[in-house]
Structure 1
Amino acid sequence: MRFALIDNEHMEAKPDLVGAVCPGCGASVIAKCGTQKVHHWAHRNTRMCDSWWETETQWHRVWKNNFPVEWQEIFLPDEQTGEKHIADVRTEYGLVIEFQHSFINPVERISREEFYKNMVWVVDGTRLSRDFPRFLKGGKFGSTELKPGVMHIEFADDFFPRNWLRSSVPVVFDFLGLDNPDSADHIRKTLYCLFPSHDEYNAVFAKISRKAFIKTVLNGEWSDRVRAYMDEMEQKYIEKELQRKESQQGVYYRKLYKVYIYPHRIKSTRRKRYK
């Protein structure tokens, strides 16, 4: 954890601080201030009280620093299990942002999405060396621009890691990592927001500047904009499905006519002629 309570005040981990407790469960925590990992608080005698919690990296901290301290590490109770889960960032508008660096089990991913509901993932696209080259290679085979900055792609796993294609919430990929945005090329410093899709092979993603993403989260516009676009996508999907079913129904009736009705009419006509 980044913050612990000392005399009811949120404090970051430092070597000389004592008497700290976990803001979620009240258990005693100690400062871990080594040189290999970012400074953090750890429970003294028990495991971390949130089963979803993972060790933070500097990448996590850099992203969190874009948002107010009071939005960071918010404990939220699970009424069904009695557990408390720590949202990396929860805005005053109710949006949860989870910054994901390490691999996440699909079962846990689904559990988090169902629990937080109004959320967005920000995924470190530099963790695996193959992820960014795959994205670049996928782009060479083409995509269709639905509107400025919004792309439709086929064979989505040629662009993005397969384990994120079934997410029920938007997933933002960050291929910059800890590099300086000022010295990075446009492709790497741009964020890529993958929208939920009914079809894991066909997907839609949007190109978003880092500043625009942070700004719309800070002013509360992110959720409204994403929800409006997802509603638009859902409506188009419904209309497409209706057209498909109507087309299939038309094929069915044409076959029915050809196999059963038309031959019967021919026979009836012949009988009338010979009477």
Structure 2
Amino acid sequence: MRFALINDKPTEAMPGLVDAVCPGCGASVIAKCGTQKIHHWAHKNMRMCDSWWETETEWHRAWKNKFPFEWQEIFLPDEQTGEKHIADIQTKYGLVIEFQHSFINPAERISREEFYKNMVWVVDGTRLSRDFPRFVKGGKFGSIELKPGIIKVDFADDYFPRNWLKGSVPVVFDFLGIDDPANADYTRKTLYCLFPSHDDFEAVFAKISRRVFIRTVLNGEWSERVTAFMDEMEQEYIEKQKQRQRNLQQPIYYRRNRFVYPAKIYRKKWRR
């Protein structure tokens, strides 16, 4: 953890600090201030009170530092399990941001999304060396710009890791990591927000500048904008499904520019 309580005051880990307790469970914690990992607090019994917590990196801290101190590491109770989970960021508007560097199994990802609901993932796209080259290669073909900055792709796994494709909340990919944006090209320093999709293959994502992402989170516009866009996508999906049902009810119809015989006509023809 970044913060522990000393005399009821949130305090960052520093060498020599003692008598600190966990803000969530009240257990004693000790300052870990070595040279291998970023300075942090750890429970004396070595058991973290939040089973979802992952070891923090410089990348985590760099992102957290872009938001107010009082929004960081917010403990939220889970009424079903009795546990408390630590949101990396919870804004005053209720939005939760989870910064994910390490691999996360699908079951835990789903659990977090169901628990936080109004949330967005920010994923470190530099953890695996193949992720950014795949994204760049995917961008060379098979995409349509629906509107400025909004891209539709036919095969989402040509762009993004498969374990992030079936989520219920937006996922923002950061391919810059801890590098300096001033020294990076446009593709690396841009953020890419992957929206939830009903389709097993197609996906829609948005190109977003870091400045816009941070600003809209800070002023509360992020949730409004994303919700409005996702509602629009959902309505388009519903209309497509209705049209598909209408097409299926036609005696003869076309699917993907290929002539298809209705079942009754097909059977009748071959019985002759």
Q: TM-score, normalised by structure 1?
A: 0.92
Mapping 1:177-216, distance limit 5 Å: 177-216=177-216
- Distance between the aligned counterparts of 1:8 and 1:58, measured in 2? 26
Q: CA deviation at 1:142?
A: 3.4
User: Which whole-Å deviations, capped at 9, do the CAs of 1:218-266 have from their partners, x for residues lacking one?
Assistant: 00000000000000000000000000011001137995885899xxxxx
Name the residue aligned to 1:268. Answer: none
- Distance between the aligned counterparts of 1:259 and 1:45, measured in 2? 70
- Distance between the aligned counterparts of 1:251 and 1:179, measured in 2? 59
Larger Rg: 1
Q: CA deviation at 1:180?
A: 0.3
Name the residue aligned to 1:163. Answer: 163
| Aligned residues with identical type, % of pairs | 76
- Distance between the aligned counterparts of 1:80 and 1:171, measured in 2? 26
Name the residue aligned to 1:28. Answer: 28
Name the residue aligned to 1:8. Answer: 8
| Distance change (3 Å), C-alpha of 1:15 and 1:233 | same
| Distance change (3 Å), C-alpha of 1:249 and 1:30 | same
| Distance change (3 Å), C-alpha of 1:187 and 1:252 | same
Structure 1 portions without partners, runs of 5+: 262-275
Name the residue aligned to 1:120. Answer: 120
Mapping 1:1-275, distance limit 5 Å: 1-251=1-251, 255=262
Which amino acid in 1 is paired with 2:242? L
- Distance between the aligned counterparts of 1:256 and 1:197, measured in 2? 30
- Distance between the aligned counterparts of 1:23 and 1:260, measured in 2? 70
Q: TM-score, normalised by structure 2?
A: 0.93
Structure 2 portions without partners, runs of 5+: 254-260
- Distance between the aligned counterparts of 1:204 and 1:256, measured in 2? 34
Q: CA deviation at 1:16?
A: 1.2
Name the residue aligned to 2:256. Answer: none
| Distance change (3 Å), C-alpha of 1:55 and 1:259 | closer
Give the total of aligned pairs: 261
Structure 1 segments of 4+ aligned residues over 3 angstroms from their partners:
251-261
Which structure dedicates a bigger proportion of its chain to helix? 1
User: Which whole-Å deviations, capped at 9, do the CAs of 1:164-217 have from their partners, x for residues lacking one?
Assistant: 000100000000001100110000000000000001310000000000000000
Secondary structure of 1:250 counterpart:
coil
Computed over aligned residues only, the root mean square deviation of the Cα atoms, in angstroms, reads 1.6
